[in-house]
Structure 1
Amino acid sequence: MAPTGRADVPTGRADVVSNPPEIREPAHAPIAHVVRGGIIEGVHHGSVVVLAADGSVQFQAGDIEAAFYPRSALKPLQAVGLLRAGLPPLDDEALALAAASHSGDERHLATARRMLATAGLTEDALRNVPDLPYGPAERDEWIRRGLAPTRLTQNCSGKHSAMLLTTLARGWQPDAYLDPGHPLQREIAATVEDLTGQRIARVTVDGCGAPLFAVSLHGLTRAAARLATAAPDTDEGRVAQAMRTHPEMVSGADRDTARLVGAVPGLLAKDGFEGVQIAALPDGRAVGVKVADGADRARMPVTAAALAHCGVDPDVLADFATTPVIGGGAPVGALRAAGALAQGLAADLRAGLLRELSS
């Protein structure tokens, strides 16, 4: 078992923040089955937590208390931290982009340019890694045009633009804004600890170059619920409102998380690399998902099943609850939630799985 530990980061509100989650090998459980021709061909393990409106754990599978990295599912918390640290006023589109893993369409790029221009900056000031657009269609078009990876097209450029704006507004050194010891990152860390209710277990570097904080899946889901239930005039409420109003800015109009937000009224949702998803309803019901092997294909079916445990209409979730398994160009099975997690799904979906396994 790895030793527990934490970086030298501020503890936020120490009187309401618990000890950091333990750094250990997570005890994940089976959460999704890949069924082909009536046989379970593959099993995705992971962890899932469903919170009731009062914050209590309504359902759990796997290990929801072990330390893990939320990846881009942490961005809504980081956006709150930026507002608390002094991010200049942004409209909802730009604030949503600050919490985004955007696809890199022209609207995303134009909004990031506009954010930078308010401080007289260009994308040359960004310190994230250059990359091609994240959205498949956007990436293909970028390559077709013979364009190279840029910092602006990298999916975290909205967050980095907002970090730069905050740094300049506070008079801090902009060149070092990604250093975990930078005042900006220390303030963001304090916000993460406050919102999750626990100290950060460890700090590393995310794919974009920004500091990444290890918390527990339970803590991350608590934070999502706090944003979803926050008053509109709070920093948490402002981020939640921007993300709900402009889910297409948080990801892309054709991405599954944006479509899920469009299907479930009032939902706040954010995905992250390595199979991470959070989603929360305005009354505080919330879910957190971590797929152990990082498989993105299992993320949304598991999330849909978890939301059904929250009381979301299973018929609304039907389009998200399964992914076809293809053989010879036609569906021959499906990927869907497994075991007790699947019990909240519509009866016809459960019956379909039983038929597949018995055929």
Structure 2
Amino acid sequence: MRLQAPAPGEVLAWVVRGTMVESVHTGHLLALDAAGHDALRLGEPDQQIYPRSSLKPLQALGMLRAGVALTDEQLALACASHNGEPRHREVAAAILATVGLDAAVLANTPDLPLERSAALAWQVAGHGPEPIAQNCSGKHAAMVATCVAAGWPVAGYHEPGHPLQRHLLAVIAELTGAAPDHVAVDGCGAPQPSTTVRGLARAFARLAVAEPGTHEHRVAAAMRAHPHLVAGTGREDTEAMRAVPGLILKGGADGVHAGALPDGRSLAFKISDGAARPRPVVLGAALRALGIEPGGSWAQVTVLGHGAPVGEVLAAFGLDAPVMAGA
């Protein structure tokens, strides 16, 4: 197989242990001002990436356009990579119940809840990996309900050639302004189209500034009203949306994040090595570049040694970035 190697981008974060930089994370980042102009550009934001679960709000928009009827809680969960906590599982089951179905119809990958105590309680109750507990069950439940609403077959709803997936692909291309160069399979089994960091930032801005009464506004409003359902206990998406008024935010696997503010300021980035550890720090620095103080401790990442703090992850850009020797 012949592959095209992507550009690694610019340094976005350093991992400091003691008095030495232990690791360096590069990537691609774009912050847009309210007019859609580049406020901060690092790396190659027009390079194609897999946005992973950062696409879920766009997919949820496509489902609304196809006629699915969801409450605000259910819509927030359709946008989620949730922890699998009890309320997350309850809302996913409620989505399916609205169309007379149950979790047996879900085609996403069986898994345990992401959150440690929820996973323990789930297993103590006698459960193993199940689709309803997996972090994408809200999206998949909403996909099933969308098929019923639109008159599409439920069988094979996650396959690339299914009418639902073709419809969602068109919506994603419309909002991002970038037709995908690649379509792969995501971790949950659904199609994963590529896009660009710029396309993600642009799409989230469209959701964030949408007028009341539009499907776009419903997606943004649901995420703002129910940040716990979008992620869960201890997760940066939930904590950041609680801390920053009006922010909509969605992370994705392999180091992706995208978000936007009600005035249209937006951001997106991809950590080139796929690491999750620097994401909160890079996100906090990107928000500062847009004039927003993140608030709270969610944007800080401590490096531990023998259970005690011995360092931290630092953003390599922005006003708070330290000056490194030789820089």
- TM-score after normalising by structure 1: 0.87
Q: Which letter does structure 1 place at the counterpart of 2:226?
A: H
Kept after mapping to 2: 8 A contact 1:321/1:336: no
Distance 1:217 1:270 in 2: 13
Within-5 A mapping of 1:65-214: 65-87=46-68, 89-214=69-194
- Among 64, 67, 90, which residue is 2:45 paired with? 64
State the secondary structure of the residue aligned to 1:175.
coil
Distance 2:205 2:2 in 1: 30
Within-5 A mapping of 1:1-359: 25-87=6-68, 89-313=69-293, 316-317=294-295, 319-338=297-316, 341-343=317-319, 345=320, 350=321, 353=322
What 5-or-longer segments of structure 1 have no aligned partner? 4-22
Distance 1:107 1:317 in 2: 26
Distance 1:26 1:86 in 2: 40
Distance 1:147 1:277 in 2: 31
Give 1:317 shift: 3.8
Greater share of helix: 1
Q: Which letter does structure 2 place at the counterpart of 1:329?
A: G
Q: What is the percentage of aligned positions where both structures have the same residue?
A: 46
Q: 1:126 to 1:328 in 2, by over 3 A?
A: closer
Kept after mapping to 2: 8 A contact 1:232/1:241: no
Which stretch has the larger CA shift, 190-199 or 127-136?
127-136
State the secondary structure of the residue aligned to 2:145.
helix
Aligned length: 326
Kept after mapping to 1: 8 A contact 2:8/2:26: no
Give 1:143 shift: 2.6
CA deviation string 1:42-64 (max 9, x = no partner): 10111111011001111111111
Give 1:129 shift: 1.5
State the secondary structure of the residue aligned to 2:301.
strand
- TM-score after normalising by structure 2: 0.95
Give 1:286 shift: 0.8
Which stretch has the larger CA shift, 139-148 or 192-201?
139-148
Q: Which letter does structure 1 place at the counterpart of 2:278?
A: A
Distance 2:167 2:82 in 1: 24
Give 1:333 shift: 1.7
Give 1:140 shift: 2.3
Distance 1:293 1:136 in 2: 25
Give 1:253 shift: 3.3
User: Over the residues paired in the alignment, what is the CA RMSD in angstroms?
Assistant: 1.9
Distance 2:299 2:131 in 1: 35
